[in-house]
Amino acid sequence: MATGCGSVARVSAGSAVARRAEELGYDSLWVAERLLWPLEPGALYPGSPDGSLPEPMKSQLEALETLSFVASHTRRVTLGTSVMNLPFYQPLLLARRLATLDVLSGGRLRVGLGNGWLPDEFDAVNVPMRGRGERADEAIEVMKAIWADDPVEFQGKHFQIPKSLIGPKPIQKPHPPIYMGAFAPTALRRVARYADGWNPGALPIPILEQLFERLRQRTEKEGRDPSRLELIVRANLRLFDEPLGERRAPFTGSLDEIRADTAALRAIGAHELFFDVQFEPRVDSEKAFIEHLEQLWEAANAEL
């Protein structure tokens, strides 16, 4: 059981929200990433009916800096990104930042990675969208090499590292767990080949179950143990006073409907669920955020 900090986790609220989540028993805290909010975006946002970017995405705190802050105010909860877009980063620099956070947090980091979809963001960081999958594969190999024992040496098509000592090394061995949010066939193959878990969101639960089973089969074909692959689900939360009925999206509706979705997700064997509250208009203050934490915790654990 976990929650997402999102864009509402301002400095004034982040520490109180994180501490209360830990007190309640939440297992993890997650943050999202959005580089910019283009006024005339080059692609439609897949998560909204009209393709528009949600208002909360206009301003989001940087993921790793936010988690570093949260780490200093907590002791137990793990700290995740859902997701950082790997093509935006030079892998040597990113690997060192992630390892540093794992060390400073006492081994609590969880690395959620994506591959990006918004052309405007690729333009802004001067990275081509074409070929991003191939570069992402190599970047993951670079980071895993850096997190392993010294000396580190890597010679690839896109990235090269001369034989070197590179620290710090993460506390978690062989590295912090890597999760990927992916749906396209090539992206799912990347999950099967490199990741410790799958981090989907916004899909009906029966479809999640079917895709996860296929992903396990693909993981086995890659020569890896499919039983070790985790299913970490992001629930894009919208709470309503009255039930929405059968046609509603997962994790939207009344508290009873949220409770039913949580039970269904547990029934298909999901390892973890976290609530992303950044699109919930009622979460507009520290007090409202904490009230949601308490409501959701009670609802999700009512049948246990």
Domains observed in the chain: 2-300 (3.20.20.30)
121-to-117, 118, 129, 169 alpha-carbon distances in Å: 8, 6, 9, 30
* 87-102 CB burial, b ≥16 within 10 A, e <16: bbbebbebbbebbbbb
Q: SS3 helix, strand, coil % of the chain, rounded to 5?
A: 40, 15, 40
Whether pTM > 0.85 for this model: the answer is yes
Higher pLDDT, 5 or 145: 145
pLDDT of residue 47: 76
In the predicted structure, residue 211 carries a pLDDT above the cut 70: yes
Please check whether residue 62 is in contact with residue 32, taking contact to mean a CB–CB distance below 8 angstroms: no
Identify the three-state secondary structure at position 290: helix
pLDDT of residue 50: 85
Q: What percent of the chain has pLDDT over 90?
A: 74
pLDDT of residue 118: 96
Q: Return the minimum-mean-pLDDT range out of 2-16, 25-39, 181-195, 248-262.
A: 2-16
| pLDDT tens track for 126-157 | 999 999 999 999 999 999 999 999 999 999 99
In the predicted structure, residue 183 carries a pLDDT above the cut 60: yes
In the predicted structure, residue 5 carries a pLDDT above the cut 80: no
Could you count the other beta carbons within 10 Å of the beta carbon of residue 13?
18
What is the residue whose two structure tokens read 């999700």?
300
Rounded to an integer, the average pLDDT of 239-268 is: 93
What is the residue whose two structure tokens read 């992903």?
215
In the predicted structure, residue 170 carries a pLDDT above the cut 90: yes
Most confident of 183-192, 264-273, 283-292: 264-273
173-to-95, 107, 221, 224 alpha-carbon distances in Å: 14, 9, 24, 17
